Amino acid sequence: MGAMPTTALQLRPEEWKIFEELSNELKDGWKVTEETLSAFERAEELEMRYRMASFDHPACQALVEGVKKAKNAAEIEEVVSQFDIAALSQVQMAELFFTLGTRVLSAMVRYALQRAESDEDLEGVAALTEVRHMLFQVNSSS
């Protein structure tokens, strides 16, 4: 029996604003809690993660390279928009998210929220916020 899809979104204030702009029909049934953690990685921590990562999927390497070159959140969103996350295994996703860090995950959350049109889309956002929350916990314990 598979895990039940989560109906809880852990959103930062700027993401909450995007969620509020979605249709009432789409928002119905979703529980939103505020993401209170904000232990973003330092640049040197991310650089170490980049160096340690060994991706077996060429798209992952391309995404990481694109994100490293991005100069701001808009450029990160542009890089992320061209990436098909569904093509990855759970193990590949875990390594990718750990390597990219919480800022990029936050950009992915904003990007996905702005384009959400179904409960399935919001389930994907919920999964991203869950992973981000776990990374914030890891970051705040180190």
DSSP string, the chain: -PPPPP-EEEE-HHHHHHHHTS-HHHHTT-EEEE-----PPPHHHHHHHHHH---SSHHHHHHHHHHHH--SHHHHHHHHHT--GGGS-HHHHHHHHHHHHHHHHHHHHHHHHHT--SHHHHHHHHHHHHHHHHHHHHHHH-
Tell me the average pLDDT across 89-111: 91
The yes-or-no verdict on residue 74 having pLDDT over 70 is yes
In the chain, pLDDT over 90 holds for what percent of residues? 58
Q: What is the pTM of this model?
A: 0.86
The whole-number average pLDDT for the span 122-140 is 93
Please say if the pLDDT value at position 3 is more than 80: no
Comparison of pLDDT for 119 and 74, the residue scoring more: 119
Of the chain, the percentage scoring pLDDT greater than 70 comes to: 95
Q: Which residues lie below 8 Å from residue 112, measured CB to CB, with a gap of 6+?
A: 121, 124, 125, 128
Averaged pLDDT score across all residues of the chain: 89
- Quick: pLDDT tens for 7-51: 799 999 999 999 999 999 999 999 999 999 999 999 999 999 999
